[in-house]
Amino acid sequence: MHSSKPQRPEAPRHTDRTKQAERTLQERTHRKSAHGKSPAPSSSPETLNLNRSTGVLRLKVLRTPASRVFGPLVMNRMPANQGLVLLHTAKIHSFGLRAAIDLVFLDREGHVIELITRHPPWKRAQGRGAHAVLALTAGVASYAGIREGERLRDIGRLLRPRRRSRPATLEQPSRI
């Protein structure tokens, strides 16, 4: 006599963490508003080209906290001429990475205040006084000739505070 055992539901297949991080990053940066319309584009570009004597570095700009958390996981698949710019932060992690990375910490004007080459995977790093972090594939920072004290103007433009126009105030007539 054949006994029928209840079948277990098939377990979901494990997907690569990098693919999950890319999907999450894409969903969170391209999220639609409640009205079904895409949010207004920001005034700065999504990608930034940094011209160096050795070539052009294509940098993806990460502004939101979620993109700064999941962004470094995407570096496993990036070619050598691409990198990430994490704005408005002085910290970065390399959790989930398989290889070392170069980290360039920048101040508000875009000056390089600290340069860490070959930062190992599964570690954290912090730059004192930094307002942005440039993450590159290991060896690219030295190849591109990035040095401490140098000013990266294109990134510095992204860090400057935007000038907001002040609302007009109505002056009360003085009573005599």
Residue 143 maps to which CATH number? 2.60.120.1140
Nearest in space to 71 (alpha carbons), one of 93, 44, 45:
93
Domain assignment of residue 27, yes or no: no
Domain count along the chain: 1
Domain span including residue 75: 44-159
Do 113 and 107 form a contact (C-beta atoms < 8 A)?
Answer: yes
Q: In 1-159, which ranges are continuous DSSP H helix?
A: 17-29, 65-70, 140-144, 153-159
Beta-strand pair 47-52/55-62: antiparallel
In terms of Cβ atoms closer than 10 Å to its own Cβ (0-12, 13-18, 19+), residue 134 is buried
Q: Specify the pTM.
A: 0.67
- E runs forming strands in 3-69: 47-52, 55-62
Q: In the chain, which stretches have pLDDT less than 50? A: 11-15, 29, 31-45
